[in-house]
Amino acid sequence: MTETIGTISETFGRELRSFFVVCLLSLVFGALAMAFGLQFIVAAVVAMAGSGTLGLLPLVQVLLGWAAAVVGFRWILSSAKILKGVNRIRRDYRAMEGPVSDEAVTGLIVRMMAHYRENWKTIWRMNLIAILGGAVFLALGVVNILQGIAAWYAGTGLMSFFAFFAGGLNIAIGLAALLTSAGFRRYARAWESRLAEAGQSEETLKKSMEQG
């Protein structure tokens, strides 16, 4: 029994650390999304002001930058809320010393299930925001690459280099956001399954007590 509890405790600890990292990365990517979105808006507006014309590509860049900034802001709020609850449970788990008792592990698991139950809408919203944020950054990356190609053919090598660099960075952030979304989906499915099992156990206990 002790070995079983120890195994459950270790598995729960690894899961807590992994989910904490996913939430932390989500918070970082949200901040990057908002920062880069604002940066692209400013860059596009400056470019249009310098040329004196409303080009289609800078206008698309402004719209995508605005979308990235909004998505990033929402992303930060949602990530901070989930991270706060997970960090409390993780801190209490790390404070345990020596062999962890059955009651202690069960109590933390119940707290984590309650945290998910209270915030499942936010977690799935974060999943959607991560997907949307990834798509926006991938689109920004494609726009940057097109700008780099245009600058290359125009003979402005330095501008082409910066455009390609920004395109690669945006594509990397977009892919990371999609991976973060996959992490949220994996943990959401796992905790939903556990909640369903707990609900079935409660129903079985209720029927047993009624029959008794």
Residue 22 placed within a domain: yes
Assigned token pair, 206: 């209720």
Residue 186 placed within a domain: yes
* Residue-wise pLDDT tens digits, 34-76: 887 887 788 777 777 776 666 677 777 788 788 878 877 887 8
Residue 77 placed within a domain: yes
Residue 21 placed within a domain: yes
pTM of the model as a whole: 0.64
Residue 95 belongs to domain spanning: 2-200
Amino acid 209: pLDDT: 44
The tally of domains found in the chain comes to 1
Q: HSE on the CB side for 20, CA within 13 Å?
A: 17
Residue 132 placed within a domain: yes
Rounded Cα–Cα distance for residues 49 and 55 (Å): 10
Residue 212 placed within a domain: no
